[in-house]
Structure 1
């Protein structure tokens, strides 16, 4: 892989990291509905002289909206271009995060006490993983979500 290919795919690495952060944040507050701000996921933003957000901020907001459109989460409304209100995990995503993954199969198990749960794997990768391992985990999570 050359440097040009790697540079153009940084937005995809950001997508995987944002997705993991969003899912973990919503899981940590489930079943409560919360206001989820883009800056809480992607970090502080510095709008330009015209008040337009950075590409990074807009990409994170787009990730939130894509996850909602793809039935990973639900929300009541958009707060300007700053975040979403009354956000929560969808039923499917809650079940998915409380499942263990074995290869390409999902195994529903008790949600307490298992280090193999997908939610625990996401937490671990966000803390200690690399972009590559986080990308693999999120891609697998999305592929497994089609089983539910």
Structure 2
């Protein structure tokens, strides 16, 4: 059985990290809908399961030290959200085995960052590639702890 919820989790993590990285170091409001699009609540106003999964990914990332925030906005998002130093270094430090020495140094350095690899994986829509890169990011971050 495919673990589709884990594929969604990896996609959410990539979106959350890149959203905060693209605005770093400024704190921002991070809305679930901006990451995964609109998902209508049920007849009782309970958010859709996919919406809740993305929101819970945000909270998990905060608990694990990848982001900080000042307050939650109901179950819609997080206010004054930013990457931690740990997450910033995880995303911006080039991986030696990803460096392409055939490219100019500045371009090679940029392309070897996990942030760029996450962008490329999201653009390719490859769940396998995205899973590998998110897992590698987590592994890099756990070494830094």
Q: Normalising by the residue count of structure 2, what TM-score does the alignment of the two structures yield? A: 0.89
Q: How far apart, CA to CA, are the structure 1 residues paired with 2:94 and 2:20? A: 19
Structure with higher helix content = 2
Q: Which of 115, 119, 125 in structure 2 is aligned with 1:119?
A: 115
Structure with higher strand content = 1
SS of alignment partner, residue 121 of structure 2: helix
Equivalent pairs counted in the alignment come to 134
Let me know the Cα RMSD of the aligned residues: 1.1
Runs of 4+ in 1 over 3 A off after TM superposition: none
Match of 2:102 in 1: none
Q: How far apart, CA to CA, are the structure 2 residues paired with 1:134 and 1:88? A: 22
Q: How far apart, CA to CA, are the structure 2 residues paired with 1:57 and 1:88? A: 20
Q: Report deviation, 1:129.
A: 4.0
Tell me whether 1:29 sits opposite 2:23 in the alignment: yes
Q: Which of 133, 145, 148 in structure 1 is aligned with 2:129?
A: 133
Tell me whether 1:95 sits opposite 2:89 in the alignment: yes
Q: Any stretches of 5+ residues in structure 2 without a counterpart? A: 98-105
Match of 1:13 in 2: 7
Q: How far apart, CA to CA, are the structure 1 residues paired with 2:129 and 2:123? A: 12
